[in-house]
């Protein structure tokens, strides 16, 4: 039983997460191809990147073994790539939230996002220079936790902006909630590992918390794609008079 | 270490915040009509009357009675959700999420009762979840009932 919980459980959970992600990606792609995926392009691209990363990790683990240095390197490098993709996705959501209200706002937000990106890059570069020895595993975990936290703060800013400018766009709000759930859980899990002193807890976090938080986001996105259509902006919405045929209008 | 503790506290809080926000968004989904009323009447569910009592701010809050009644309603509705007009006899992902949210709200209600904070809000949230579940069951039963009828049969049933 202990073996099942400690070793096989996380592996099964990891594969399950991968399968669910793959299934939801196929569903999203099918919706896009049928022209019923309005507002889901960014989420689909992010999901494709995530499934691609999952495939690459599995190939590396199969080739070099899951406890090899190559796998660790591949894992963390692809994790940075996923965080970068999430950053781009958050940027696209910011754009969607701003453009509907005013193009001017988007210019300010774009500047803010670029500043955050450059600042994070500079801080990352400086800290990597400072920690070039003993890179694995403690520094990587701490750095990753900070990246997740920065992303979570950005997502929270986006969520607050949505409450002000696009509170009726349920699709966008739920997509953002999904991202928030994943990155808040990841930041909390890695912070917990650090607070607990990098002990056996890391295995539990990596094995259970990471795939579970990912599954939470993926399932919420699936619900959003299946049940919640994209909100029509007010300026695009047609009045009843515009929809009525000419002969009906003539009788009014 | 201080930064890690701060990140842990803030991220955990934000995790629950996003979880709650997602559930609230799902609960806000509108049904084309109130499907839950026939389910409430047929099963003698009490959450609409509890909501009425809680919204009347002058009346005292009967915490233990309301909590017990809401939990009974929850058990009845989750049973119906699984067995009434459900060919697969499985909960959907959305149902599971809302059931988890209900349990979390029950826990928050207990905490709120302990510190005398936010009891009314928690009870109202629980009734909203029950109403949503009732709507899901009602619509499903309604579809199953109409599924066997042809268009002319349906028109004949209208008075």
pLDDT computed for residue A237 by the predictor: 47
B42 burial via Cβ count (<10 Å: 0-12, 13-18, 19+):
exposed
Q: How many domains does chain A have?
A: 1
Asked if the Cβ–Cβ distance from B18 to A181 is below 8 Å, we say yes
Chain B environment of A170 (Cβ under 8 Å): 25, 28-29
Contact of B11 with chain A, judged by CB distance below 8 Å, is answered with yes
Please report how the helices A9-33 and A210-227 are oriented relative to each other, as an axis angle in degrees rounded to 10.
20
Interface of B with A in 93-112 (CB under 8 A): 93-94, 97
Q: Is residue A134 part of a domain?
A: yes
Tell me how far apart the alpha carbons of residues A124 and A79 are, in angstroms, rounded to a whole number. 14
Across chain B, mean pLDDT equals 83
Range of the domain at A173: 9-229
Pairwise pLDDT comparison (A201 vs A208), residue with the higher score: A208
Chain A environment of B4 (Cβ under 8 Å): 142, 145, 191, 194-195
pLDDT band at residue A9 under the 50/70/90 scheme: confident
Q: Is residue A77 part of a domain?
A: yes
> Could you read off the pLDDT of B11-51 as tens digits, one per residue?
899 999 999 899 888 888 777 778 888 888 888 888 999 88
Tell me how far apart the alpha carbons of residues A174 and A185 are, in angstroms, rounded to a whole number. 16
Angle at B38 between CA B32 and CA B43, to 5 degrees: 140
Tell me how far apart the alpha carbons of residues A242 and A249 are, in angstroms, rounded to a whole number. 9
pLDDT computed for residue A135 by the predictor: 57
pLDDT computed for residue B149 by the predictor: 58
Asked if the Cβ–Cβ distance from A219 to B19 is below 8 Å, we say no
Pairwise pLDDT comparison (B32 vs A13), residue with the higher score: A13
Torsion from C-alpha of A225, A229, A230, A236, nearest 10 degrees: 160
Asked if the Cβ–Cβ distance from A223 to B26 is below 8 Å, we say yes
CATH number at residue A86: 1.20.1070
Tell me how far apart the alpha carbons of residues A173 and A160 are, in angstroms, rounded to a whole number. 10
Q: What is the ipTM of this complex?
A: 0.80
Q: Answer yes or no: is pLDDT of A137 > 80.
A: no
pLDDT over 90 for what percent of chain A?
A: 25
Least Cα distance to A189 among B97, B7, B21 occurs for B7
Q: Which residues of B11-38 are buried (b: 16+ CB within 10 A; e: fewer)?
A: bbebbebbbbbbbebbbeeeeeeebbee
Residue A18: CB atoms within 10 A of its CB come to 19
Q: Which of B15, B93, B94 sits opposite A184 (nearest CB)?
A: B15
Contact of B1 with chain A, judged by CB distance below 8 Å, is answered with yes
Q: Is residue A242 part of a domain?
A: no
Q: What is the mean pLDDT of residues A208-221?
A: 89
Interface test with A, best of B6, B7, B95 (most A CBs within 10 A): B7
Q: Is residue A1 part of a domain?
A: no
Q: Answer yes or no: is pLDDT of A5 > 60.
A: no
Q: Is residue A244 part of a domain?
A: no
Across chain A, mean pLDDT equals 81
pLDDT computed for residue A101 by the predictor: 73
Residues A47 and A25 sit within 8 Å (Cβ to Cβ): yes
Contact of B4 with chain A, judged by CB distance below 8 Å, is answered with yes
Contact of B15 with chain A, judged by CB distance below 8 Å, is answered with yes
pLDDT computed for residue A56 by the predictor: 93
Q: Is residue A208 part of a domain?
A: yes
Asked if the Cβ–Cβ distance from B8 to A188 is below 8 Å, we say yes
Residue A150: CB atoms within 10 A of its CB come to 19
pLDDT computed for residue B41 by the predictor: 87
CA distance B66 to chain A (A): 31
Asked if the Cβ–Cβ distance from A195 to B18 is below 8 Å, we say no
pLDDT band at residue B145 under the 50/70/90 scheme: low
Q: Which of B5, B18, B93 sits opposite A184 (nearest CB)?
A: B18
Asked if the Cβ–Cβ distance from A184 to B11 is below 8 Å, we say yes
Q: Answer yes or no: is pLDDT of A6 > 90.
A: no
* Residue of chain B with shortest Cα separation from A224: B26
Name, in order, each residue with C-beta under 8 angstroms of A231's C-beta and a sequence gap of 6 or more.
A166, A168, A169, A170, A171, A172
């Amino acid at each position: 039983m202990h073996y099942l919980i400690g070793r096989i459980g996380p592996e099964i959970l990891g594969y399950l997460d991968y399968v669910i992600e793959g299934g939801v990606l196929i569903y999203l792609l099918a919706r896009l191809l049928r022209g019923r995926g309005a507002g889901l392009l960014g989420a689909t691209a992010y999901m494709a990147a995530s499934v691609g990363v999952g495939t690459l990790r599995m190939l590396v683990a199969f080739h070099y073994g899951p406890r090899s240095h190559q796998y660790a390197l591949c894992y963390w490098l692809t994790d940075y790539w996923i965080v970068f993709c999430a950053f781009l996705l958050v940027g696209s959501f910011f754009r969607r939230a701003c453009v509907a209200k005013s193009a001017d706002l988007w210019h300010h937000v774009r500047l803010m996002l670029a500043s955050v990106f450059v600042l994070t890059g500079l801080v990352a570069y400086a800290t990597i220079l400072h920690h070039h020895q003993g890179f694995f595993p403690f520094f990587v975990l701490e750095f990753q936790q900070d990246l997740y936290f920065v992303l979570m703060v950005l997502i929270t800013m986006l969520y607050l902006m949505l409450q002000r400018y696009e509170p009726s766009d349920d699709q966008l709000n739920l997509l953002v909630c999904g991202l928030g759930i994943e990155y808040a859980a990841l930041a909390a899990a890695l912070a917990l590992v650090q607070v607990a002193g990098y002990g056996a807890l890391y295995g539990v976090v990596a094995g259970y918390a990471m795939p579970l938080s990912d599954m939470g986001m993926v399932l919420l996105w699936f619900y959003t794609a299946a049940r919640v259509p994209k909100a029509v902006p007010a300026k695009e919405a047609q009045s009843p008079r515009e929809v009525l045929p000419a002969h009906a209008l003539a009788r009014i | 270490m201080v930064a890690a503790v701060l990140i842990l506290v803030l991220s955990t809080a934000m995790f629950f915040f996003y979880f709650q926000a997602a559930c609230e968004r799902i609960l806000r989904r509108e049904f084309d009509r109130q499907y839950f009323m026939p389910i409430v009447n047929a099963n003698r569910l009490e959450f609409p009357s509890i909501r009425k009592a809680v919204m009347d701010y002058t009346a005292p809050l009967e915490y233990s009675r309301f909590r017990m009644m809401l939990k009974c309603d929850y058990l009845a509705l989750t049973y119906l959700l699984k067995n009434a007009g459900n060919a697969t006899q499985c909960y959907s992902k959305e149902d599971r999420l809302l059931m988890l949210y209900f349990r979390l709200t029950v826990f928050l209600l207990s905490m709120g009762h302990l510190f005398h904070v936010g009891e009314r809000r928690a009870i109202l949230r629980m009734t909203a979840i029950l109403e949503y579940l009732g709507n899901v069951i009602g619509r499903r039963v309604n579809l199953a009932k109409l599924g066997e009828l042809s268009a002319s049969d349906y028109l004949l049933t209208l008075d």
